[in-house]
């Protein structure tokens, strides 16, 4: 069901509050560049600092605007509390999301058995697909392929993983186990697709959705010569967008392009001057500034 380019949207703020009008404009921009779908309230969307009411509102706005534009909508509903993740996932289903994206529980660092029970509980609480999100750099825990495969075997609505583990062995093994894999690292999308991933949840596509889509389409068609050219074209930008903690660089870049205020909520703040120049230079090198 999930194949192609999914943009992990930033959550725009204006004077501290959620800017729904700007968010709808960002979604329309994605639709014009023909991405497959959008992800609301992921890490890039600053989920840790949204209130529950804001979380609900952002997902509802994404579903309304995204579906109107013909996009699939994944809702970020992960938590290190299983009960909270269930509550957020049920809301996303009621709102009309096509799937929920659920990150490994962070900080409390569950065992593999704990991960299995956590995600099984979420999957049993909703009827829509649950996309697993493996990102040890954020959560300090890695879900093994064996655990993911066990979940896929036991839960009909678990088939897909967003893989941000940065480990091609894990990607290869997940594909071999029958899981649908989406890259969670922009700079690794092409090599991950070479071993069987079928798309990406992208940060870079907030500003270059057409370029990311073309790369994914080339790889899906088996045209890795063209894919490599596209990969090299955006590689510097992809690296610059992680020069500091995501979403600091992407929001800074979007502000430079006058597509976002650049506002973030503490504890996130503006980048260091040297890193701001890295971001500006990457935008210039790709012809955006």
Mind telling me the catalytic residues? 133, 162
Inter-residue contact 259 to 289 (CB < 8 Å): no
> Where in 9-159 does DSSP place strands (E)?
13-14, 17-18, 37-40, 72-76, 99-103, 130-134
Secondary structure (3-state) at 171: helix
Return the structure tokens found at 266. Answer: 């503490």
**Residue 102: strand, helix, or coil:** strand
Place of tokens 């971001």: 279
Full DSSP string of 145-162: HHHHHHHHHH-TT--EEE
Helix (H, G, I), strand (E, B) or coil at 15: coil
Give the other-Cβ count within 10 Å of 190's Cβ. Answer: 22
Pairing status of strand 4-8 against strand 199-202:
parallel
């Amino acid at each position: 069901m999930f194949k192609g380019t999914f943009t992990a949207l930033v959550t725009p703020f204006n004077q501290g509050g959620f800017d729904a009008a700007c968010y709808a404009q960002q979604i329309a921009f994605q639709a014009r560049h023909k991405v497959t779908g959008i992800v609301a309230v992921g890490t890039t969307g600053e989920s840790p600092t949204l209130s529950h009411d804001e979380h609900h509102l952002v997902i509802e706005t994404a579903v309304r605007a995204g579906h109107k534009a013909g996009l699939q909508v994944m809702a970020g509903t992960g938590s290190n509390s299983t009960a909270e993740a269930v509550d957020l996932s049920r809301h996303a289903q009621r709102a009309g999301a096509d799937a929920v994206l659920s990150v490994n529980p962070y900080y409390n660092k569950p065992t593999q058995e704990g991960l299995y029970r956590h995600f099984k509980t979420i999957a049993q609480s909703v009827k829509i697909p649950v996309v697993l999100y493996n990102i040890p750099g954020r959560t300090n825990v890695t879900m093994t392929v064996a655990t993911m495969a066990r979940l896929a075997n036991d839960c009909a609505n678990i088939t897909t993983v967003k893989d941000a583990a940065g480990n091609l062995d894990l990607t290869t093994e997940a594909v071999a186990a029958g899981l649908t894999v989406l890259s969670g690292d922009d700079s690794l999308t092409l090599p991950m697709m070479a071993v069987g991933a079928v798309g990406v949840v992208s940060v870079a596509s907030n500003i270059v959705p057409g370029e990311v889509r073309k790369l994914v389409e080339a790889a899906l068609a088996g045209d890795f010569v063209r894919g490599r050219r596209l990969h090299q074209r955006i590689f510097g930008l992809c690296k610059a967008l992680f020069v500091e903690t995501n979403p600091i660089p992407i929001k800074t870049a979007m502000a430079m392009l006058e597509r976002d205020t650049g506002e973030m909520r503490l504890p996130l703040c503006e980048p260091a001057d040297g890193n701001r120049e890295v971001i500006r230079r990457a935008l210039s090198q790709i012809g955006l500034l």
